[in-house]
Amino acid sequence: MAEAHSAVAFSFAITHEGVHVNYDREVLHVIWHSGVRSWRRNLRRFINNVRCGVFPASLSSLALTVGGYNAMYLTRDTYNHGVDLSFGFIDLLKKHVKLEEPAKGVVCCTVSAFAVWFGAFMFMKYSLRILYMYKGWMYEERGRGRKLSISTKLWILAVKLLTHFTRPMLYSYQGSLPRLPLPALKDTMSRYLRSVRPLMDDENYTRMEGLVKDFQKGIGKKLQRYLLLKSWWSANYVTDWWEEFVYLRGRSPIMVNSNFYGTDAILLHPTHLQSARAANVTHAAFLFRRLVDNQQLQPIMAQSLVPLCSYQYERTFNTTRIPGIQTDKIVHFSDSTHIVVYHAGRFFKMPCYYKGQLLNPMELQMQFEHILADESVPDKGEANLGALTAGERKPWAEARNKFFNKGVNYASLETIEKAAFVVVLEEDDYDYSPDDPTQLDRFGRAMLHGKGYDRWYDKSFNVIVMRNGRIGFNGEHSWADAAIMSHLWEYVLTEDLICIGADAPIMGHMWEYIMGEDFFEFGYKEDGNCNGEVTCNLPLPTRLKWELNQECQMAIDTSFRVAEALLNDVDLRLYMHTAYGKGFMKSCRLSPDAYVQMALQLAYYRDAGKFNLTYEASMTRLFREGRTETVRPCTIESSAWVKAMENKSVSNEERAKLLRIACGQHQKGYQDAMCGMGIDRHLFCLYVISKYLEVDSPFLNEVLSEPWRLSTSQTPHGQTSKMDLSKNPKCISAGGGFGPVADDGYGVSYIIAGEDTLFFHVSSKKSSPVTDSKSFARQIERALSDMRNLFQSLAKK
């Protein structure tokens, strides 16, 4: 009905009486507001780009400089005294400007003032970039009784002086961030050999030393020179290759293998109404998008002083991954005013704006209720259509080119790919019970892979809303790292939970947003519905139409069988550790992340009976366009401590000493990775160049084929300042996770949730005879218990 209405919004007829024009005033009004919104958006983006481009200076400082120069010049000419701040430059310009006074003087003063301001701006910008190259602050000891070095104190003072007077926008620091440094080849080789020492016996280690020596003296020098050239030419010598070769060129399914997930704040359940929860979350997501588009989102600062690169935020919304025969590509659209909703095997296009204004939560709830009340049946093949995005990439690319390149299929697919994001209204209930941990496992599986066909895995993210109001997300990995999606999710949960009456008062009040948006309070009424009222004639959601022939349905079924086999092999365990959290770890004067990583090393050794190559994701966003680097937690020091824990003859004092040494080494490895002195991204780029040059390196071939049998990642939180999580620990998400990286290994994601809680998401494959996620979760619990007992026994002495 809506399509038919739009089709006749404007028409004309020619008769013997003349030309008769018929038009729908309401539709033209909507079109007018859409155009105005687009122009306002483009103008705002242009102004913001200029403001970010001149940071740490400001446009107001330019105006003051120009005004001051003109005032001084006019004063000097009027009263024949005063100082010539241009030191004769204005008088020199006058000789070449053919204008009459006073226009000549104003133009010359303005040009001179701009030259001075521009020089000062460039000096500040590059001074800030040089200051951000300093990484000594990263290695300073923290905590009570620790003192900063003189050099770090002076550095802090200089950074504050340059950035104090201008409030930064989201992308303000981009031009001041340094490039990712390229480590010296010998340094990377030395770090690599040290990292594999606990994994190899003497014979294998000697063999590896020989491979390293041959590589370093041979082809390694040539590869390093090419990589040095790339590091000079590109903003980041890793990022583009990492995105292309690790993500986009992969031909295996992205479901489970690449996509990751996030979960609800499981200790709170604000409403059991599916439509209401979906509406508030959707509205909050669009507000986050507005903050990103307007660059009003504050950049994340390390130690409240050093900015992290923000470039990944740009592709959070209106972004999709497009399959290709040999390689995929990421497509980002500049704007989108709709989302796509999947419910009961059907796809709907749901408008979220009306006359240029974002619908309020209650209006969005009415939209979702309209979809839930729709009793139409799916078209043939439509219910399982999403399986194409879950299966192998090449068959999906072939099906897309053959069946979705024209007509109604093309139009519907384009609607999905141009949507801001996808919302999935589940038909099942999922909840959390401390007495039944399997409920949390089922919830995690629903977020990680669903049924293999009920997500659009190519979209930047899918918001998943259960029938009972529980929420989560599934995120595609190529466009950004998990920290960006975690920031969005934390913001969404904060806005959604801010008015539900948690046990402790929640910090902050709702903001009034710009762009003429009315003030709406988030939260829910006593009956579970959204706050607010319907204030406009809502544009109704419309069903997407498909014409899927038998051959296309066979392609869908083939992809579904691949996805089904993959998801049925996933063994996922979500473990909530409540015995203690980071509060106790800090009381032991240890880094919480290092503490947890040592627990994982001990748990893995007990589970597998040996050490294995371990991956921990670190970020390199202290540099322009930085993404991630690998930390290798299995070190000489950590293996010595693990062995000591398993040796009954070693005293607790010695065990605690070895643990502190291991945590210190881990922390240094993490700091090195953040500062661009990691191992694996450098080796990866050398390997890529070797393939371009078609040269073979036995060393690189062996290193790049080593499996990561324990792959770990910490979920960040505390990236928004709108809620004090220390006062409201129940409002934190249970974190998220990912699938196993190796067929015979574990994927472990964890979140240090407040002072007293840890969440672990442990994944493995059921088909592997050497892994068991539930058993490994028990080993984590045992390791954490033994570590606490270790320190408590020493405290009693």
CA atoms within a 13 Å half-sphere pointing along the CA-CB vector of 153: 4
Other Cβ atoms less than 10 A from the Cβ of 559: the count is: 25
Interacting residues of 68 by C-beta distance below 8 A, sequence separation 6+: 113
Tokens of 527: 């009956």
SS3 state at 554: helix
Give the C-alpha separation, 188 to 215, whole Å.
Answer: 12
Catalytic residue among 449, 477, 682, 761: 477
Element holding 566 (H helix, E strand): helix 550-568
Q: What are the C-alpha distances in Å from 382 to residues 342, 377, 417, 563?
A: 10, 10, 16, 16
In 80-184, alpha helices (H): 89-94, 103-133, 150-163
Residue 664: alpha-carbon gap to chain centroid: 28
The pairing of beta strand 461-465 with beta strand 346-351: unpaired
What counts of helices (H) and strands (E) characterise the chain? 25, 22
Instruction: Select from 647, 776, 655, 665 the least CA-distant residue to 711.
Output: 776
Please say whether the beta carbons of 471 and 696 come within 8 A: no
Residue 477 is a catalytic residue? yes
Which residues is 307 bridged to in the sheet? 301
Largest CA distance in the chain: 108
CA-closest candidate to residue 321, choices 477, 450, 503, 206: 477
SS3 21: strand
Q: What is the 3-state secondary structure of 391-421?
A: CCHHHHHHHHHHHCCCHHHHHHHHHHHHCCC
Whole-number Å distance between alpha carbons of 783 and 499: 39
List, as one string, the DSSP characters of 189-236. HHHHHHHHGGGS-HHHHHHHHHHHHHHHHTHHHHHHHHHHHHHHHSS-
Whether residue 756 contacts residue 580, with contact meaning beta carbons closer than 8 Å, is answered with yes
Distance CA 720, CA 280 (A): 18
- Positions annotated as catalytic residues are 477
